Amino acid sequence: MQQQMILVVTLLGMLCVAIPFILIARSTASSVSPTPLFDDSSRRTLLWVLMILGVAVTVATLWVWPHRVVAGASTQAVNVTGHQWSWEFEPNTVKAGSPVIFNVHAGDVNHGMGVYDANKRLLFQVQAMPGYVNRVEYTFDKPGTYQILCMEFCGMGHHLMTADLTVTAADPNQGAPQ
């Protein structure tokens, strides 16, 4: 919900920046520049090309919202609480191949939940905040042991804030008609 709100606010903000540019471009379209780099029509073409390009890049890169949360029948939920200095996962075992929604919050101060695969590659991260639940969706492709590290300095024991998340093989019946 909050993420949709951020998207709407961002798009409205972009519109607020774009409108003055459009108005200025319109109001100067008929005036004559003393030493024009481009003539009016090629400048107008350039402006349109840039605007279309900008909109296309924005739509293409925002189309798949990185933290989208889609609850479905096969969705698994994991409640995560960060404490100084440990992680609590309920449950701490999930299945590969179906989406996991992490409900992440903190019991004391801000923490950062970073999830790493066996090659120490960061898969995703989300802030763990007191008094607020951040939701993030992720689907694990492969079974294995994934490591959780705290990504925000949270005191003397920050480096001790690690945990393991076990991902088991995908349910063989998954996707089959019930």
Angle at 70 between CA 67 and CA 71, to 5 degrees: 135
Which of 113/170 has CB closer to ligand CUA? 113
Which of 25/129 has CB closer to ligand CUA? 129
Which of 47/129 has CB closer to ligand CUA? 129
Distance (Å) of CA 1 to CA 68, 106, 122: 10, 20, 25
Residues that bind ligand CUA (CB under 6 A): 82, 111, 150, 152-154, 158, 161
Which of 163/167 has CB closer to ligand CUA? 163
Minimum distance of ligand CUA from residue 80's CB (angstroms): 12
134-137 long-range contacts, CB within 8 A, separation 24+: 134/103, 134/104, 134/105, 135/67, 135/69, 135/101, 135/102, 135/103, 135/104, 136/67, 136/69, 136/101, 136/102, 136/104, 137/67, 137/68, 137/69, 137/70, 137/99, 137/100, 137/101, 137/102
Minimum distance of ligand CUA from residue 110's CB (angstroms): 8
Which of 132/153 has CB closer to ligand CUA? 153
- Tracing tokens 């920046």 back to the chain, one arrives at 17
Minimum distance of ligand CUA from residue 129's CB (angstroms): 11
Minimum distance of ligand CUA from residue 85's CB (angstroms): 6
Minimum distance of ligand CUA from residue 108's CB (angstroms): 9
- Give the phi and the psi of residue 156 in degrees, each rounded to 5: -55, -35
CA distance 149 to 164: 9
